[in-house]
Structures are given as C-alpha cells and as structure tokens.
Chains A and B, each alone.
Chain A
Amino acid sequence: MAVAIAPPEQPGWFHLVGIHLRKDLRIEWRSREAIHSMIFFALLVVVLFSMAFDPTAAASREIAGGVLCVATLFASVSALNQAWSREIRHDVLDALRMTPADRSAIFVAKVLANFFFVTVVQALLAPVFFIFYNLRPLGNGWLLLAIVPLGTWALVANGTFFAALSIRSRNRELLLPLILFPIFLPALLAMVLAVKTILTGDGSDPHLLWLKMLAGYDIIFMTVSLLLFDTVLHAE
C-alpha cells in the first residue's frame, strides 16, 4: 500500500521574515558589535564636525541636517558590512541559498534588522546632536519623525542590497561605500534639504516635495531591490 507522504508544510512569507528577523536580532543582541561600533563612530563624526566648524546657532541649523545624514551614512556602512559577512562564517549564506524558501524574505528581514539598529543609534544620538549644535527647530519639528525614518530606510535598503553584492569581492569593506554612496546621493540630497527646511523654518518647501521625493525613492529602489535580489544572491 502506497503511503502518500505529505510534503512538509511551507511557512508563509511573513512567518519566514519573522524567523530571519528574530535570528538577526538575537545574534546582534548577543554580541552587540554592530550597534556599539555604530554609536561610537556616529558620535565621533558629530563631535569632529562640531569641532571643525564650531558653528553659530544660525549656521548650525543650515548644516545640521547634512551632518546628521553623513554621520548616519558613515556609521551604517560598518554595520551593513557585518550584516552579510556574519553569514559567510560556517557557510550560512550557502545554506540559505539552498533553502526552497523565498529569497526576498531573507532580504526584507535583513533590511528590517538593520533599520532597527540604525534607528536605535539615531535615537540615542539625537539628544547629543541637539546639545552640540544648540538646535531648536523653527519649522514643524514632528515632520522629522517622518523624514528621518524614510531617509534611513533608503540608506538601509540600498545598503543591505549592495552589501550582499560586494560581499563577493576581494576587498568587500572598501567596495560597499564606493557603490552605495553614488546610488544613495538622491536620497541624501532629499533628506538633507528636508531636514534643513524644518530646522531653519524658512518655508521654502510648502508642498513637502522633498518628503514625497524621499518616499518615491524608497518605493522605487525597494521594488527593484526585491526584483534583483535573487539575481545577486545567485550570481555565478
């Protein structure tokens, strides 16, 4: 009598994202390598810029948006590099590639985990930032709660994608910023200008064009990343 063996049940996509996300968060929770290095690095960038320019209150409103974005950008590169190089140890990446599950779940979970790390760093850094630069937003301060996460998402989504891409090169730590920075430029531009408009309160952007552009950038690049991630993971 033939016994029909039911195939093992495939977990759903969201369930898979949850599994990968929990794994990434747990690894980070145990070592805290990425978060510690990011916080200290970002703090150093903020202090360095503050010392180098010694800005007045008016000038610091002009440049603070840029400093915040660049500090986040530099700091997150180190964490993004670690995100995938962790998977290379013990050939975890190859194991992941062999699973029948949807690869986009791996990517989305990594993006979510990195987004969480960078957001934690920003939240811890924000008070320091406001103290060193003597900031008091003259525009709608609460809009920062939309702009900064959107900009961070653009950085982290692209960064995770290009980190997966540059992991295959000889000197991967060097290659990631070389590819990521040019591609990230439009989002940096939008983020810097949106933050500047709020801090200076000059009302130069009444229709929130920069915020919309940032959202559009996020949607376009996230879609393309999801479409091409499989190609990058299996590029042989």
Chain B
Amino acid sequence: MKKLWIGLGMVAVAALMLWGFHQAIDVAPTEATMGDVQRIFYYHVPNAMLSFLFFAVSFVASILFLAWRNTAPARAQAADAWALASAEVGVVFCSVVLITGPLWARPVWGIWWTWDARLTTTLLLWLIYVSYLLLRRFVEGAQMQTLAAVVSVFGALDVPIVYMANRWWRTQHPAPVFGGGPDSGIKDPTMLAAFGWNVLAWAVWGLMLLAFRVHVERRNQQIQLKASKAALAGR
C-alpha cells in the first residue's frame, strides 16, 4: 500500500513537471527583446532559488549536528543525513543553474561567462559543496561527519564575503527580478504563472529527491550501526 502511494506521488510529480514545461514553452508569451531564449529563465531562476535553499538546509543541519554530536547522538545522526542529502540535491540544482546560465548568456550578452557577483558566488558554492562531498568520501569512520560539518560552516562563511566583494567589483547579471526596485517584477500574468508553476514543480521534485536520499542515508546508518554492534558482540 505504501509503495502504491509512493508510485502515485512520483507520477504526480512527473505530471507537474510536464505541466510546468508546457507553461514555459507553449503558454508563456515570447519576450519582446530577447525572444525565445528568455524561456530558459523559467528553469534557471527556480533552480537557483532552490539550490540556495538546499545549501541553507545543509548548513543548518551541519550546525545542528555539531551541537547535538555529544549530547544527543541519535538526533545528530538524523541531522547528518539531512546535511548530506541536501548538499547532494543542492549540487544537482546548482549544476543545472551553471549549465543553463551560459546557454542564455551567449546569445544575450555575447559571452559564455563573466566574473560577476552572482556567477562567482554560485560557482564558489558549487565548488565548496563538491569539496564537501569529496571529503565525505575521503575520510572514514565517525570523525568524517564532524569534519564535514566543520567544512560546511567554513563554506557558508565564504558566500556572503564573495557576494559583497563582487558587488564592489563589477556586475553584469540582470538586476533581481523580484524585489529589485520599483520597476522589478513580472508584468505579464501568463509569464508569472509559468514561472510559478516551474518553481512549484522543481521544488516538489527536489523535495521528493531529498526525502528519498535522506531515507536511504538513514537506512545506511542503521546498517552500519548494526554491523558495529555485531562486531562489538564478537560475532
């Protein structure tokens, strides 16, 4: 019965993503100056928003792991599973952002890449979380979780510094679409709808991925715990 519900849920998520695709490609009007290439915005921006969200979840979970590590080991293990899973899903979303960005920039700016505030910050986030995931593979045993959490804290410190540095330096990325001044915001309601559907679809897909990954990691932890208990019992 549980499997049926999970299967139905997956079908629903797939349908939602198809609906979002339809909204972005067929329903939303073509943008006046950029033309069809603007449609990549319906993927680029939701993915960017969600990758930042997942990295924030990973950072908070890492802090919680460090706080609970000695006092509440069981809760700390759950926090570690969340930190790992959301870092992985965040890297996937961030990769989509880093691929779709240059695809849009080449026809509109005439260049694939520039060292600008948002681009640099996003790339740095991606690099830091890839190194976080590498660390988790390189180090063995229980200490790995603590060391990974420490790296995650350092990585999170870097992001605001780089962001501010690049604001002083130079910027080429478009001004924020939402909350970026009196002229910002999407005026066309069908464009806004397409954007909203895609945010929803990608968010649900990402959360589903996160839930599966946390579940797998918790199982993994249980198996390891059992194995170490058996080893202690001398079997």
- Point out residues on A near B: beta carbons under 8 Å: 158, 162, 165-166, 168-171, 174-175, 178-179, 182-183, 185-186, 189-190, 193, 209, 213, 216-217, 220-221, 224, 228, 231-232, 235-236
Contact = CB atoms under 8 A, between A and B. Distances in A.
B147 to A, nearest CB: 5
Nearest to A217: B161
B147 A182 contact: no
B138 A183 contact: no
Contacts of B131: 178-179, 182
Nearest to A185: B124
Contacts of B114: none
A169 B135 CA distance: 8
* Residue of B127, B139, B155 ringed by the most chain A CB atoms within 10 A: B139
Interface of B: 66, 124, 127-128, 131, 134-135, 138-143, 146-147, 150-151, 153-155, 157-158, 161-162, 164-165, 168-169
Contact of A232 (B127, B150, B169): B150
Contact of A165 (B127, B150, B169): B150
Tell me whether chain A's interface is mostly helix, strand or loop, or mixed.
helix
B169 A182 contact: no
Given A232-B146, A236-B146, 8 more contacts: A166-B138, A169-B135, A175-B135, A179-B135, A186-B162, A220-B161, A221-B154, A236-B142
Contacts of B150: 165, 228, 231-232, 235
B146 A209 contact: no
21 contacts: A162-B151, A165-B147, A168-B147, A170-B140, A174-B138, A178-B134, A179-B131, A183-B154, A185-B162, A186-B158, A209-B168, A213-B161, A213-B164, A216-B161, A220-B161, A224-B157, A231-B146, A235-B146, A235-B147, A236-B141, A236-B142
B155 A182 contact: yes
B157 A231 contact: no
B79 to A, nearest CB: 15
B155 A183 contact: yes
A216 to B, nearest CB: 8
Given A182-B128, A235-B143, A189 B151 contact: no
A217 B162 CA distance: 10
Contacts of B143: 168, 235-236
A186 B161 contact: yes
Given A168-B147, A182-B131, A213-B165, A221 B139 contact: no
B172 to A, nearest CB: 16
A128 B22 CA distance: 62
